[in-house]
Amino acid sequence: MPRTFGLFVVTALAEIVGCYLPYLWLREGRSAWLLVPAAASLAAFAWLLTLHPTGAARTYAAYGGVYIAVALVWLWWVEGERPTTWDVVGACVAILGMAIIILGPRK
């Protein structure tokens, strides 16, 4: 379980970086060269999804909870905006949903 959670975190970081760099180019006027590492990061994101131990749809559904939590940490550490109480509560609900998907009984 810790390995899977760690893989979810790395996958989320790859997706966030892949989307944040074009944001910097489009909204902040940064160099278009940021699109090169952004594309590489999104390719890594897609590859990382294939490393998860269960079916793609279930993996992606469960991954969403971790993505939300990692995005809020990114908001705080990278963008310098502290998450609100509601942000944290929402992330906890999403993580609970992820745990239900991952830990639920299977045939």
3-state per-residue secondary structure call for 13-72: HHHHHHHHHHHHHHHHCCCHHHHHHHHHHHHHHHHHHHCCCCCHHHHHHHHHHHHHHHHH
Cβ neighbour number for residue 21 with a 10 Å cutoff: 22
Distance CA 44, CA 52 (A): 13
pLDDT of residue 1: 67
Q: What is the mean pLDDT of residues 39-50?
A: 94
pLDDT of residue 61: 80
Instruction: Give the pair of three-digit tokens for residue 62.
Output: 């469960």
Question: What range defines the domain where residue 13 resides?
Answer: 2-103
Distance CA 42, CA 62 (A): 19
Distance CA 57, CA 8 (A): 14
DSSP-based three-state secondary structure for 57:
helix
Domain count, the chain: 1
Higher pLDDT, 54 or 94: 94
Q: What is the mean pLDDT of residues 40-56?
A: 87
Q: Is the pLDDT of residue 18 over 80?
A: yes
